[in-house]
Structure 1
Amino acid sequence: MPTRFSYLLRSMLNGISQVFLQRHLGCGLLILFAIGLHDRALLAGALLGLLGGTLSAWRLGYPPEDIETGLYGYNAALLGLLITLMLGLAPLACLLVIITGALSSAVQHLLLRRMRERRSLPGFTLSFVLLGWLAMGLSGVLESVVQARMPEHQLDGWGALGGIMRGVGQVLFLADPRAGLCLFAALLLADRRAAVWTLCGSAVGIFMALLGGASEPSALAGLAGYNPALAALALSQVHHSALAPALGIGLAIIFRLFFDQLGLPPLSMPFILACWAVTLGERQSQRQGELQPS
């Protein structure tokens, strides 16, 4: 029993740290602390999602190494946060968290298998996005919830720094700059280079939103920062040069504008599309290099 409990605990801590593409128990613990610092109800939703996604993967017999690494936890945790943000901790909402968490594990298993067997593009948070859109379609309340949690901010030194930290925090729907600072500390603990790129992505995203005419309260709430932050983080993990993360930041900003035009909540889809575009471009460049005569 202690062995099973410790395995489950490691899987869940790694699962929440995988939101930031890390496998680090201390990072996971600090992330949970940041969520609880902002909203204990959101913490409960994240833990419920983590538990549902991890246990369902366990029961379905998915590879134990993948489960312990946290690959079946992070999408479920994000769904738990999103559904709790929309619906609170009502019994039906908790049931929806568990169901979508289990479904996210099934979708994630399919994506992982295709990536490994057919060299498909990595899924990242795709199962969260698809199931999140489904949950939002059923509830239709995300936009009003986000607006209700958007306080007034001023564009000064501290306001800009707070906005950048909110951009990091909005990866997990956290609008408190203290929570964002705690998440940044968690990333520093796991990977300092990843932490710096995450901060850069958030800063550029917010700066470009201001240049594009967004109101100061809207830009400094961090909603324009989290997709560029995630794209910079993900691409910095596999590319040593600064070119790929910088390109990912720009593409994530462009894709976010595209979703704004569609009127569709972007969630983390701009980050996914930006990473896919950079990866496909790199593969095409490699193919052209192989075809050229030596």
Structure 2
Amino acid sequence: MNWSSSIDGAFPKPLRVILRGVGQVFFCCNALTGLIFLVALYIGGLSAGAAATVGVITSTVTAYLLGFSEDDIDAGLYGFNGTLVGPCLFLFLEHSPQLWLYVVLASILSTVVLAAMMRILQPYNVPASTSPFVLTCWMFMIAVYAFDSFSRGAILPTPLIPSEVSGVAAVPVDMWVTALTKGVAEVMFADSIIVGILFLTGIAIVSLRGAAMALGGAVVGIIVPTLLGANQTLIEMGLYGFNPVLTMMAIGWVFLKPSGRSAVLALLAGILTVVCQAGLANFLAPVGLPTLTFPFVLVMWMFLFAAAKSKYWSDTAAK
């Protein structure tokens, strides 16, 4: 939307770059959208908002200091992984003064990992996306077992052998709004209906198709796990929704030319993301790690690699 671009350009450059980094979590290179996302995070919780702020500033400044592409930095591409690192570590690890240092170090590393992943994937025309955030957070979560100053939080999964789910049932109709909005909000680890609505609003400011893909991913994150017999509580919390949200946005709006065909492909990718998430959750259970957004990253990579071989999408694959 032209008016949102005008507002984006009105922000002072340093602030615009930082806010674009927040917006890029949902592929939105827009400072106004980033501001809405950041305000939403603070509404969801002061710690999460502050951690995201520290993360995006640290990762962006690191990119400047290391001399990475200014065009990429200005577009916010070195900010969104840091934005995710902060709230993630505050969610899964016990809060302590040292945790802030942990967030800063992880945000710095996410920038270095992103640059490395971009270099590796560039010949294949595939984006690194949130893979640096996933790899960095996994490393820091495992590392806490070696340090006395840190300990795992109650939400971090306990290492165990996977077992069959219990509490399987269809999501009640009156819980659909909750599950839909939380499916969007959980992209940034927010367990809040209001945050989900604000995230969708921020995306819609940039693109109605992008918002539609995000909402479609949230719907997939309810219907598919329900049909497959997943745990109802997890579905209602939006934990099966946030990965399909990102997958459908990536395939149906960002990296392939928006069309009816790419929308169908996005739907298929969203469905398979649910299965991939369930598989990865069981795969990671023995080491006690959450899947984070890796199901989205893995499915997106596979579909973009496949699109390059198709006569329908080979000329529209990711830049």
* TM-score computed with the length of structure 1 as normaliser: 0.88
Q: Does 1:265 align with 2:306?
A: no
- In the other structure, the counterpart of 2:201 is 185
Q: 1:74 aligns with which of 73, 77, 80?
A: 80
Amino acid paired to 2:133: F
Comparing 247-256 with 224-233, greater Cα deviation is found at 247-256
Residues 87 and 144 of structure 1: is their aligned pair in 2 closer, same or farther, counting only changes over 3 Å? closer
> 1:61-210, aligned counterparts within 5 Å?
61-87=67-93, 90-116=96-122, 118-139=123-144, 144-145=154-155, 155-210=171-226
Match in the other structure for 1:151: none
Distance between the aligned counterparts of 2:153 and 2:281, measured in 1? 12
Shift of 1:108: 1.1
C-alpha offsets along residues 42-93 of structure 1, whole Å, 9 cap, x if unaligned? 0000000011101111111112111111011000110011112133653211
Per-residue Cα deviation, 1:250-269 (whole angstroms, up to 9, x for no partner): 22112112112212421101
Do the aligned residues in 2 keep the contact of 1:50 with 1:76 (CA within 8 Å)?
yes
Number of residue pairs matched by the alignment: 280
- TM superposition shift of 1:218: 1.9
* Per-residue deviation, residues 225-253 of structure 1 (Å, max 9, x unmatched): 00011000111222323222112102211
Write the distance in 1 (CA, Å) between the matches of 2:293 and 2:40. Answer: 20
The separation in 2 between residues aligned to 1:143 and 1:88, in whole angstroms, is 4
What is the CA distance between 1:178 and its match in structure 2?
1.0
Q: Report the CA distance between 1:142 and its aligned residue.
A: 6.6
Aligned counterpart for 1:11 among listed residues 3, 10, 17: 17
Residue type at the aligned position of 2:155: V
User: Residue 181 of structure 1 aligns to which amino acid in structure 2?
Assistant: I
What is the aligned partner in structure 1 of residue 299 from structure 2? Answer: 274
Q: Distance in 2 between matches of 1:70 and 1:139?
A: 29
* Amino acid of the structure 2 residue aligned with 1:247: L
Residues 275-294 of structure 1 aligned to structure 2 (within 5 Å) = 275-286=300-311
Determine the structure 2 residue equivalent to 1:254.
Answer: 275
> What CA distance in whole angstroms lies between the structure 2 residues aligned with 1:48 and 1:248?
33
Query: After superposition, what is the alpha-carbon deviation per residue over 1:147-167, rounded to whole angstroms, capped at 9, x for unaligned?
Result: 8xxxxxx94433111111000
1:34 is matched with which residue? Answer: 40
* Runs of 4+ deviating beyond 6 Å: 140-143
Q: Could you say which structure has the higher helix fraction?
A: 1
Partner of 2:57: 51
Q: Indicate the SS of the match to 1:72.
A: coil
Residue from 243, 249, 263 that aligns with 2:264: 243
CA 1:142 to 1:176, structure 2 compared with 1: closer, same or farther past 3 Å?
farther
Question: Percent identity over the alignment?
Answer: 28
Contact preservation (8 Å) 1:247, 1:278: no
Q: Can you give the 5+ residue segments of structure 2 that lack an aligned partner in the other structure? A: 1-10, 146-150, 158-169
Unaligned runs of 5+ in 1: 148-153
> In the aligned structure 2, how far is the partner of 1:39 from the partner of 1:198?
23
- CA-based RMSD of the aligned residues comes to 2.5
